[in-house]
Amino acid sequence: MSLRQKVGQLFVVRPESLEPAIRYASDAELPPYRLQAVSDGMRARAERYPAGGVLLYGHNIADPAQLERFGAELRALPGAPRLCIDEEGGRVSRIAANPAFDVPRYESAAAIAAGGDPQAAYDAARAIGTYLKRYGLDINFAPVADVNTNPENIIIGARAFSDDPAAAAAMVAAYVRGLADAGIVGCLKHFPGHGDTLADTHLGYAFTDKSWEQMRDCEMVSFRAGIAAGAPLVMAAHIAAPAVTGCDEPATLCPAILTEKLRGELGFEGVVITDALEMGAITRRYGSGEAAVRALEAGADWLLCPLDYCAAFDAVADAVATGRIPEARIDQSLRRIRRVCR
């Protein structure tokens, strides 16, 4: 592959990032566009800025026939992008929230776990994975592996299976296996744990004040269980952990979290993906290009949804060309991506 082809494989983007006619400052601006088909402009941009994956949101999906058609069009773009979605089961479900689809529906992860039987999490994930596979999806950014220990948390809540680490761990492991048995790649999120925070990283800075020892006994219990169950992806959160790292840098951009803790201590060998780089916790402090480069330097493999995809792509290509990021480092990420996201 050429350098630009390699760089493109490091990104998972919104369909709108490939559409030259759309510029946006916030994801809230995108639903009215109802981008649900590939345009000539998207094909032209993808020639210069190919992407390794495309993440579909609810407003990109109308009905089963449209989703299958759109998926085929996206796969035919340069880079042959993998198709990704957030379909957790509960309020974050892009297909199940659409009445045009006849699929199983779940109240929440917490409701799935309420009976205490991990088989329920397996069955839900197997069912979700089965319909995702039927509609041509490859990767599901689920399960939520956070432990919901802060009742005032405004972003996780019932998206987590439990406020008990051991209970959450059993459910997370079962969910990972259920997706895998349906032929869908799953993803643990949001490392190192979003369940004890107060703020929403979609809007700005969020942090946990826990030490690593405290996190080992809580958040890491479910992440370790998911990794042991074979989770191929882990999504990094934009939360800071100053008691662990000594700084206020978000985990997504922090080598101490991604390289030292996730890869080193937890032994994770799969793909590390960032949370969406268009979120306020990133964009209020960093430009799209610098955030993408810093995430790779920290140990991420896949860069999710930068606000300005072209700027992020060019910055990574420039960083490799100038030696700031060795091409061997890019090749390492590409090997991981190919291994777990065939």
Q: What is the pTM of this model?
A: 0.96
CATH number of the domain to which 29 belongs: 3.20.20.300
pLDDT in tens, 103-114: 999 999 999 999
Residue 342: band (very low, low, confident or very high) from pLDDT cuts 50, 70, 90: confident
Catalytic residue positions?
Answer: 202, 275
261-282 residue pLDDT tens? 999 999 999 999 999 999 988 9
The percentage of residues in the chain with a pLDDT greater than 70, rounded to a whole number, is: 97
Q: How confident is the model at residue 194 (pLDDT cuts 50, 70, 90)?
A: confident
State residue 117 phi and psi, 5-degree precision. Answer: -105, 115
**Beta-strand relationship, 206-207 and 239-240:** parallel
- Would you say residue 88 has pLDDT above 60? yes
Q: What is the mean pLDDT of residues 196-207?
A: 68
Token duo for residue 119? 């088989």
Q: CA 74, 80, 81 angle in degrees (round to 5)?
A: 65
Q: In sequence order, what E strands does 64-119 have? A: 82-85
pLDDT score for 155? 80
Helices (H), 154-201: 165-181
pLDDT tens for 11-20 read 999 999 999 9
Burial letters for 226-248: b for 16+ Cβ neighbours within 10 Å, e otherwise? bbebebbbbbbbbbbbeebbeee
- Going through 38-104 in order, the beta strands assigned E by DSSP cover 53-56, 82-85
pLDDT tens for 126-178 read: 999 999 999 999 999 999 999 998 877 768 889 999 999 999 999 999 999 99
Residue 60: what pLDDT? 98
Q: Within 10 A of 70 (CB to CB), how many other CB atoms are there?
A: 22
Q: Which domain holds residue 115?
A: 3-340
Number of domains composing the chain: 1
Kindly state the average pLDDT of the residues 50-62: 98
